[in-house]
Amino acid sequence: MVAQKMYELGTKRSGIREIFEFAMKRSAEVGPENVYDFSLGNPNVPSPEYIKEAIIDLITNMPATAVHSYTVAPGAMEVRETLARSINERFGMNITGNNLFMTSGAAAAITITFKALTEEDDEIIAFAPYFPEYKVFVENVGSKLVVVPAKVDDFQIDFEAFRAVINPHTKAVIVNSPNNPSGVIYSEETIKELAAILTEKSKEYGHPIFIIADEPYREIAYDGLEVPYIPKFYSNTIVCYSYSKSFSLPGERIGYIVVPNEVEDFGAVYGAVAGAARVLTHVNASSLFQLVVARCAGKPSDISQYEKNGKLLYDGLTAAGIKCLKPQGAFYLFPQALEEDDVAFCEKAKKYDLLFVPGSGFGCPGFVRLAYCVSEETIRRSLPVLKKFAKEEYGIEC
Ligand SMILES: Cc1ncc(COP(=O)(O)O)c(C=O)c1O
């Protein structure tokens, strides 16, 4: 009677949802201050004051029809021109509004790009650990997601494993840096090597293999670390950007796709992006928030609380004997579980009201994700509990 696949997607309880419900239940039982919920990637830093000021100014001083009307499908041209100038200034690009397509966040940008690029039998490669929704997005457009196993010593890319899976059906690779869930930034060296292999293989197979750069965490990078702007290293790159994290606007659904002129057959790719958006029922991205982000283009994001939280939690995990890479960006840590079975590890942690997400869902068993976009107080209170958990469950004395 209904599409079975859609029914399954709509009713299968996600692991993160289950953890969320458990957190609600435990908060009612023991008080929210005693539940250490590291499961959700929902920014806890409020959106900056300049966003609020822009919204108030726009809705007060612009005619309502100008603020709330439909825009052309790619987004208002003045908005795209403003964002293009900001991108050019920041990354030394040379794009115009004609290279931008405004979307309802990164999820829409990625799905539209997958749909625009792939046909039946095409494959998209992701590098573990990877954002689990990629699988849903890829399958939705009728293609196949191929996963390269993680390089767990540094969470850069395992190029040998990559070479083993790339094949003539590969249409694109999706790269997410700063990464959810590992918190790692792909180095310039990694991006250069990826670009070299893709150039070689595109030539060998006689068609371009695109990089899709999924960049919602671009601005959340610590210790002055640079996040390489991938179109500068590989011309067949399409960027999917979102303001969900940088401006803490996840509920407003605003982002964009960049298709630079250097992309092979630019006109066909941009046209296919517009067509894919159309069949996916995109009419236009929020007209108010197009104007808001154009007003605030290039303004700094305050990442100081995330940086502080990341360091605090990293020190706490390490002190409890749980191994972890130092936070580089985004707001996640991805430590190694204290046993092989990451799901069992998370279940044991739950007994201490420590809520983590198993790495298996990110294609990386044996690890767990902790989102530290929570209050600093939650992290501070969790530190002795982490130690108690490691000691009582795994006999680790620190
Ligand atoms: C890696 C990654 N890509 C894409 C998204 C989707 O972001 P948006 O809210 O812009 O749709 C997320 C959201 O958490 C993410 O972590």
What domains, with CATH codes, occur in the chain? 4-48+302-394 (3.90.1150.10), 51-295 (3.40.640.10)
Nearest-CA residue for ligand 1 atom 16 is 180
Q: Which atom of ligand 1 is nearest to the CA of 107?
A: 11
Q: How far is the CA of 321 from the centre of ligand 1 (A)?
A: 31
Closest ligand 1 atom to Cα of 110? 4
Which atom of ligand 1 lies closest to the CA of 179? Answer: 1
Contacts of 124 (CB under 8 A, 6+ apart): 114, 118, 134, 138, 143, 144, 145, 146, 170, 171, 172, 173, 174, 212
- What is residue 12's predicted lDDT score, i.e. its pLDDT? 82
Q: In 185-233, which ranges are continuous DSSP H helix?
A: 188-205
Q: Round to whole Å and give the CA distance between 331 and 372.
A: 6
Query: Which residue's CA lies nearest to atom 14 of ligand 1?
Result: 41
Q: Which residues line ligand 1 (CB under 6 A)?
A: 41, 105-107, 131, 176, 180, 214, 216, 242, 244, 250, 255
In angstroms, what is the span from residue 86 Cα to ligand 1's centroid?
22
Cα(107) to centroid(ligand 1), Å: 6
The overall pTM is greater than 0.75: yes
| Backbone phi and psi for residue 172, each to the nearest 5 degrees, phi listed first | -160, 160
How many Å lie between the centroid of ligand 1 and the Cα of residue 1? 32
Which residue's C-alpha comes closest to atom 7 of ligand 1? 106
Please report the atom of ligand 1 found closest to the CA of residue 108.
Answer: 11
**pLDDT at position 16:** 79
How many angstroms does the Cα of residue 133 sit away from the middle of ligand 1?
Answer: 9
Closest CA to 219 of 330, 296, 102: 330
Cis amide linkage into residue 74, ω under 30° from 0: no
Atom of ligand 1 nearest to the CA of 105: 10
Centre of ligand 1 to C-alpha 178, Å, is: 12
**Interval between CA 109 and ligand 1 midpoint (Å):** 10
In ligand 1, the atom with minimum distance to the C-alpha of 242 is: 10
Give me the average pLDDT of each 10-residue run along the chain (398 residues): 90 81 93 95 94 98 96 98 98 98 98 96 97 95 96 98 98 98 98 98 98 98 97 98 97 98 98 98 98 96 96 98 98 98 98 97 98 97 98 93
d(CA 341, CA 360): 9
Choose one of 44, 104, 135, 242 to mutate for the ligand 1 pocket test, by most ligand atoms within 8 angstroms of C-beta. Answer: 242
Contact 270/242 with Cβ under 8 angstroms? no
SS3 per-residue string spanning 321-340: CCCCCCCCECCEECCECCCC
Rounded to the nearest angstrom, the distance between the alpha carbon of 320 and the centre of ligand 1 is: 30
Atom of ligand 1 at shortest range from CA of 255 = 10
In this prediction, residue 20 carries a pLDDT of 84
Cα of 216 to ligand 1 centre, how many Å? 6
CB proximity list for 77: less than 8 A, separation 6 or greater: 97
